[in-house]
A and B are shown apart, each in its own frame.
Chain A
């Protein structure tokens, strides 16, 4: 690749990404472009998502809401949608937090894509309030609450609200410097809105320090709340609704597979932004390679966590464990399990194991898309199995309920509400610039080209 200096530049025989040769003005212009004008594709997508959102709401009302809160089974696909959204758009911001903590440089053009999904968290929050009303009192049944006052409704709701509020605060704080740029440069039509959002941010040393700390603390808090919330969701909405299922590893499994899907969502979003979003200069092999490595690692962890649960039940062979194996692995939900296994473990492993594919762009995106599909089936398996049991006071399953087959409303609900959440993410792109102007330009300062023996390499500044 020809560098800006006119010499041939290679880093370990791989072309260097373009983003680090872009002038800061170009980054500002790209960041503000979508705010100034959305473009035809953007508008089309937004309309499509809005239609899907409306369809989802109609299906929600026509299906489960009209059926009432007396039975849990009609709500299965509301729970599936809730679980899927929590595991994808809920976990994507955690990727941004993790990469900030380890101070990766490749993260700079990616972070915003992960954070922006926090904007859609209002959808799972609404679904949560509809679902939490289905949970019975914890008295006389097995749960993690041991008869605590207000459990499970109050504590679950508090955690969920705290998570969503923290997600919005994290997104807003991380975007504030860019909103100040938009206030000053986006044009007269946008001044007022961004002036209010930027809250007088001028870029003083004190303000930057506050932003740095705010983003770090809110990010860590978000991850802690996310892990806590997923633990409680796994426990209250899945484990405690399956008699005899007290698998201690399950909350961790549920959280780990959510992290896997969060990375997958970010990969797919990055792929779409590169393909149709004009971000080809920002999202290059460097980003896809790094995300691909993470995707592979989390795919392996998916297998490890499931295997650990499986092997203990397999060796235990108590009637309780045999019933659980039949219900969740070999019985009515064998097909969803097999699909999830293939798409969440085998696919990322067989695609991303090869460095040549990982170094490309299409491979990681395809793996990410497959993981997302696998996650849908995993949620179907888990929530269908847990929402099919009637008597929760049993010590173990005395019979295996038949598989829940979704109806038309169920499918429309799932597709529609997921589309609505995507729409919220798209709307946010009109308010929050992509790429993150302050992070990418900050990265420019910390990168330089230096001669290294007979070639030229990129060096990264490590101020800390």
Chain B
């Protein structure tokens, strides 16, 4: 049963603007802890730039370590925004309203974080400019546009541009609201960002149509981005990477981890900003049901990948599958993938009672992302470990403190940016919530009063 509130418009606006207008003790603690971790993150990056990439655990043949795993992971998390926002907007799912903004913003920040990793992974990132503007083009060293490594940044930056535009368009009415309720520099900032939005009928029409159009465009970009990330690996002839299933497998895995991250964020927002009346049990219920389908589809693709890797019975494939199944730490990671990624959370989500238990949903979503991070490691790293023909060239990858700091720091970085964002823009869209209130109704079915919504055919 839905637990709707019957607050006045003013109360809704006041509640949802609270994170922008007030800074609670939890906010400060968040800023300080995450800020410290981000400082460590930045320090480690500077350290690596100064001393070179040798300070990390990367060594031949394992030249794609934690940093590439992290890149794939954060690109995956970024898929939540479009999944939740665009698909649910286009299908007019009513439960989308309180979660869209957080999901879209998470997309934006996780994309930025994801792009940091290949950038710093080059060792001397300033030299990446040569790839874009090759000074020695007369020697024919133009980037090969057919390479996935060129398609990848193009796709990711298109996605980032689209996401920023999408977030911006869907935030304009809230900017107008903030403009009318702020003073000083904030007023000036919001006045510029609101683009003169006054809530006229024509403005609303343009805002809604552009939101829909952007959502439809973003859907195709969303699928292409993680497909292209998967092709970074699959276009090569490296054993186990060269697989036809990787594109949809990566996409569905990304949706699994991304939507789970949205659940984590929903729970944190509910606790931190006291949004109990807005992020309600029925929202967790709906997203839990979605996750059962997404998680099970992901497991199907995961099994397809494993079975068809084994099908080939190629010595090179078999060597890597042997590492994946029997050599430390890969069996442990595989256990994490199965247990945390599927066998604990999905049965939990199958029961309505558990889907409405926010603590359980929170921990289940955390588990999924531990499992999904392990999955990326399990997929990517062994592929290089036994890449070469001669076994004396095979070495195991041992991540050092630098990489561990980078992983922890990346989570802190995204968290810090989200917290900062919530100080500038309401994390739950105010206009969307007000629209939802207008479209909410009740009908009488026998003796029972049932919550209803205006049908948006």
Interface set of A (CB-CB < 8 Å, partner B): 11-12, 14, 16, 101, 105, 142-144, 146, 224, 227, 231, 246-252, 286, 289, 304-305, 308-309, 311-313, 315-316, 318, 445-448, 450, 452, 457-464
A459 touches B245 (CB 8 A): no
CA distance A446 to B441 in the complex (A): 12
Q: Chain A interface: which of B74-82, B184-192, B301-309, B426-434?
A: B301-309
Question: Restricting to B165-209, which residues have a CB under 8 Å from any CB of A?
Answer: none
Chain A residue at smallest Cβ distance from B312? A246
Chain A residue at smallest Cβ distance from B450? A461
Q: Which residues of A contact B235 (CB under 8 A)?
A: 311-312, 315-316
Q: Which residues of B contact A448 (CB under 8 A)?
A: 443, 452
B248 touches A459 (CB 8 A): no
CA distance A202 to B116 in the complex (A): 64
The 8 A CB mask of B200-236 against A (1 = contact, 0 = none) is: 0000000000000000000000010001000100110
The 8 A CB mask of B294-322 against A (1 = contact, 0 = none) is: 00100011001101111111000000000
Chain B residue at smallest Cβ distance from A308? B247
A446 touches B445 (CB 8 A): yes
A316 and B237 in contact, given A227-B300, A249-B244 (Cβ under 8 angstroms):
yes
- B400 contacts partner chain A, Cβ-Cβ < 8 Å: no
CA distance A264 to B313 in the complex (A): 39
Q: List 22 A-B contacts (CB under 8 A).
A: A12-B456, A16-B457, A142-B312, A143-B311, A144-B307, A224-B296, A227-B300, A246-B311, A247-B308, A252-B301, A289-B457, A308-B247, A312-B234, A450-B441, A452-B454, A459-B453, A459-B454, A460-B455, A461-B450, A461-B452, A462-B450, A464-B282
A249 touches B248 (CB 8 A): yes
Q: Which residues of B contact A105 (CB under 8 A)?
A: 455
CA distance A105 to B456 in the complex (A): 12
Instruction: Select B313's contact among A101, A142, A315, beta carbons within 8 Å.
Output: A142
B237 touches A248 (CB 8 A): no
Taking A312-B231, A316-B235, A447-B443 as given, write out 10 further A-B residue pairs in contact, using a Cβ cutoff of 8 Å, ordered by the A residue number: A289-B457, A308-B248, A311-B231, A311-B235, A315-B235, A445-B445, A457-B455, A458-B455, A459-B452, A463-B1
**Chain B CB within 10 Å, residue with most, of A11, A146, A315:** A315
B457 touches A461 (CB 8 A): no
Instruction: Select B310's contact among A146, A247, A446, beta carbons within 8 Å.
Output: A146
Prevailing SS type, chain A contact patch: mixed
- B6 contacts partner chain A, Cβ-Cβ < 8 Å: no
- B243 contacts partner chain A, Cβ-Cβ < 8 Å: yes
The 8 A CB mask of B274-287 against A (1 = contact, 0 = none) is: 00000000100100
Q: Which residues of A contact B393 (CB under 8 A)?
A: none
A461 touches B243 (CB 8 A): no
Q: Which residues of A contact B2 (CB under 8 A)?
A: 462, 464
In the assembled complex, the CB of B305 is this many whole angstroms from the nearest CB of chain A, namely 6
B94 touches A462 (CB 8 A): yes
B311 touches A142 (CB 8 A): yes
Interface set of B (CB-CB < 8 Å, partner A): 1-2, 94, 223, 227, 231, 234-235, 237, 242-248, 282, 285, 289, 293, 296, 300-301, 304-305, 307-313, 441, 443, 445-446, 448, 450-457
In the assembled complex, the CB of B233 is this many whole angstroms from the nearest CB of chain A, namely 11
Q: Which residues of B contact A308 (CB under 8 A)?
A: 227, 244-245, 247-248
Instruction: Select B443's contact among A249, A315, A318, A459, beta carbons within 8 Å.
Output: A459
B94 touches A252 (CB 8 A): no
B304 touches A252 (CB 8 A): yes
A463 touches B450 (CB 8 A): yes
A248 and B454 in contact, given A312-B234, A463-B445 (Cβ under 8 angstroms):
no
Q: Which residues of B contact A462 (CB under 8 A)?
A: 2, 94, 450-453
B450 touches A247 (CB 8 A): no
A464 and B312 in contact, given A248-B245, A249-B304, A459-B452 (Cβ under 8 angstroms):
no
CA distance A462 to B448 in the complex (A): 12
CA distance A286 to B457 in the complex (A): 7
In the assembled complex, the CB of A239 is this many whole angstroms from the nearest CB of chain B, namely 8
**Chain A CB within 10 Å, residue with most, of B1, B308, B313, B446:** B308
CA distance A305 to B231 in the complex (A): 14
Q: Which residues of A contact B452 (CB under 8 A)?
A: 446, 448, 459-462
Chain B residue at smallest Cβ distance from A227? B300
In the assembled complex, the CB of A287 is this many whole angstroms from the nearest CB of chain B, namely 11
A457 touches B308 (CB 8 A): no
Q: Which residues of A contact B446 (CB under 8 A)?
A: 445
Chain A residue at smallest Cβ distance from B441? A459
Chain A residue at smallest Cβ distance from B350? A220
CA distance A12 to B247 in the complex (A): 39
Instruction: Select A446's contact among B245, B304, B450, beta carbons within 8 Å.
Output: B450
Q: Which residues of B contact A252 (CB under 8 A)?
A: 245, 248, 300-301, 304
Q: Which residues of A contact B445 (CB under 8 A)?
A: 445-446, 461, 463
In the assembled complex, the CB of A249 is this many whole angstroms from the nearest CB of chain B, namely 4
B1 touches A464 (CB 8 A): yes
Chain A residue at smallest Cβ distance from B304? A248
A248 touches B243 (CB 8 A): yes
CA distance A182 to B247 in the complex (A): 50
A248 touches B443 (CB 8 A): no
In the assembled complex, the CB of A43 is this many whole angstroms from the nearest CB of chain B, namely 37
CA distance A109 to B403 in the complex (A): 57
Q: Which residues of B contact A464 (CB under 8 A)?
A: 1-2, 282, 285
A248 and B305 in contact, given A316-B242, A462-B94 (Cβ under 8 angstroms):
yes
CA distance A148 to B449 in the complex (A): 57
Chain B residue at smallest Cβ distance from A464? B1
CA distance A407 to B309 in the complex (A): 38
In the assembled complex, the CB of A452 is this many whole angstroms from the nearest CB of chain B, namely 6
CA distance A445 to B453 in the complex (A): 14
A249 and B245 in contact, given A143-B311, A308-B227, A459-B453 (Cβ under 8 angstroms):
yes
B451 touches A461 (CB 8 A): yes
CA distance A460 to B234 in the complex (A): 47
Closest 7 CB pairs of A and B: A248-B308, A248-B245, A461-B450, A249-B244, A249-B245, A459-B452, A459-B441
A305 touches B248 (CB 8 A): yes
Chain A residue at smallest Cβ distance from B237? A316
Chain B residue at smallest Cβ distance from A285? B457
CA distance A439 to B88 in the complex (A): 25
Chain A residue at smallest Cβ distance from B231? A311
